[in-house]
């Protein structure tokens, strides 16, 4: 099996990674990914299985200092911003004529030549690495490419990603319907395997005694709310809960209707503390995720959080409604169930405990890795 894995990804939370590197033990390899990114659990599982790892950050500029300390967390905001305007302008330039993108592709080829990967792990939302670069990597290193995405290629993907679909040896998706879309784009092998895996050493419930009030509320949500055309159902569900003791944590902006409930971001340990502290964790999938299976579904379960989740087919595939979590059908149903479980602590705590036991028994990242190794062996 492949033993040298080169990740190609976008670093979303550079400040978190720098803190994690500073906090890491002096012995051993420093982390490649921050705990706030799902790849961190995979990094740990791969290292434990004996893999050698490296990462290429595609959002670092091609020219100048290629140092993650120069990156900053991108926050989604409503309306037109200078960053959005510049990004839109640069997207009009064909990638082959974009000098900085061409330089990044050259740097990737050089890094791969030094590392000699057996496997390329390409994270979704790739707007940088060109199809011809991926083809050159496969020819030069006889490596396989696994493409991992949690979003719809119809809604989110860039032409670069769609054109390269036939080059992906394996596409992993959370949402079954997204897999169908990738097959239509020419990907030869697609599997609906929730790549969000639970690490028992990372997903540890946090103590809720002597916790600052900022973490405490009856009903809580952690995630993205912008833009509205992608998260309108999520926003509507939370709007229906404004009469409750509601807390919202997001590194991005909240719509005006929910700003009074916004308590800042929750990444890494802060996210663990929030989900451990709220009485009910609300989980509503994005509008583009009709089958279900987002990160929060598995993370909340592993932390022993009681979840009320929108009714999606995948939720019933991976968890049992009423035993590991509770689903809702509409705003009235959501409010009714929130009131009921806030008034019935024993039932709420029993379901939360069962969710944690189920997640640790069936959704660990080492189990995901075994499945991926089997799939790669079949390619």
User: How would residue 90 be classed by pLDDT, with cut points 50, 70 and 90?
Assistant: low
Question: 112, 137 in Cβ contact below 8 A?
Answer: yes
CA dihedral angle for residue 74, residue 233, residue 267, residue 6, rounded to 10 degrees: -70
Q: Are strands 119-123 and 307-310 parallel, antiparallel or unpaired?
A: unpaired
- In this predicted structure, the answer to whether residue 378 has a pLDDT above a threshold of 80 is no
pLDDT, residue 41, reads 95
* 278 vs 266: CA distance, rounded Å: 13
CATH code linked to domain 213-362: 3.40.50.2000
- In this predicted structure, the answer to whether residue 131 has a pLDDT above a threshold of 70 is yes
User: How would residue 92 be classed by pLDDT, with cut points 50, 70 and 90?
Assistant: low
- In this predicted structure, the answer to whether residue 354 has a pLDDT above a threshold of 80 is yes
**Residue 88 CB neighbours (<10 A):** 10
- pTM across the whole model: 0.91
> DSSP H helical segments within the chain, as ranges?
14-23, 39-48, 82-91, 99-115, 131-141, 153-156, 159-163, 176-184, 228-239, 269-277, 295-302, 313-318, 331-342, 345-362, 365-378
Which of the four CATH numbers 3.40.50.2000, 3.40.50.800, 2.40.50.1070, 3.90.1300.10 does domain 4-197+364-378 have?
Answer: 3.40.50.2000
Q: Of 151 and 132, which is predicted with more confidence?
A: 132
pLDDT, residue 225, reads 96
pLDDT, residue 377, reads 87
Residue boundaries of the structural domains of the chain: 4-197+364-378, 213-362
> Mean pLDDT, to the nearest integer, of 336-358?
98
Question: First and final CA of the chain: distance in angstroms?
Answer: 12
pLDDT, residue 238, reads 98
Structure tokens at 204: 């540890």
> Mean pLDDT, to the nearest integer, of 260-273?
95
Question: Tell me: the pLDDT tens digits for 242-266?
Answer: 999 999 999 999 999 999 999 999 9
Structure tokens at 67: 């140092």
Question: Tell me: the pLDDT tens digits for 21-51?
Answer: 999 998 888 999 999 999 999 999 999 999 9
Question: Tell me: the pLDDT tens digits for 280-306?
Answer: 999 999 999 999 999 999 999 999 999
Helix, strand, coil shares, percent, the chain, to 5: 45, 15, 40
pLDDT, residue 223, reads 95
């Amino acid at each position: 099996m492949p033993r040298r894995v080169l990740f190609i990804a976008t670093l979303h939370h550079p400040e978190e990674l720098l803190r994690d590197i500073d906090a890491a033990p002096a012995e051993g390899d420093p982390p490649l990914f921050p705990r706030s990114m799902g790849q961190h659990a995979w990094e740990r599982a791969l290292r434990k299985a004996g893999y050698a790892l490296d990462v290429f950050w595609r959002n670092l500029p091609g020219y100048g200092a290629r140092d993650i300390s120069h990156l900053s967390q991108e926050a989604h905001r409503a309306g037109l911003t200078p960053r959005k305007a510049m990004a839109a302008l640069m997207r009009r330039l064909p990638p082959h004529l974009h000098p900085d993108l061409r330089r990044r592709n050259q740097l990737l080829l050089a890094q791969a030549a030094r590392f000699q990967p057996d496997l390329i792990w390409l994270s979704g939302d790739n707007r940088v690495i060109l199809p011809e670069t991926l083809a050159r990597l496969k020819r030069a290193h006889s490596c396989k490419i696994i493409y991992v995405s949690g979003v719809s290629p119809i809604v989110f993907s860039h032409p670069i990603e769609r054109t390269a679909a036939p080059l992906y040896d394996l596409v992993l998706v959370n949402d079954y319907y997204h897999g169908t879309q990738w097959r239509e784009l020419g990907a030869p092998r697609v599997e609906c395997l929730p790549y969000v895996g639970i690490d028992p050493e990372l997903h540890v419930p946090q103590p809720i005694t002597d916790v600052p009030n900022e973490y405490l509320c009856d009903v809580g949500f952690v995630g993205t709310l912008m833009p509205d055309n992608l998260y309108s159902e999520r926003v509507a569900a939370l709007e229906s809960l404004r009469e409750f003791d509601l807390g919202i944590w997001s590194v991005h902006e909240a719509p005006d209707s929910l700003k009074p409930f916004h308590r800042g971001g929750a990444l890494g340990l802060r996210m663990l503390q929030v989900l451990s502290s709220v009485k009910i964790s609300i989980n509503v999938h994005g509008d583009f995720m009709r089958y279900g299976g987002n990160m929060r579904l598995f993370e909340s379960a592993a932390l022993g959080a009681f979840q009320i989740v929108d009714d999606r087919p995948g939720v019933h595939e991976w968890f049992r409604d009423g035993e590991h979590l509770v689903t809702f059908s509409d705003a009235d149903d959501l409010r009714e169930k929130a009131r009921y479980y806030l008034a019935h602590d024993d039932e709420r705590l029993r379901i939360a405990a069962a969710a944690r036991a189920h997640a640790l028994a069936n959704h660990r990242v080492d189990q995901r890795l075994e499945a991926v190794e089997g799939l790669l062996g079949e390619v």
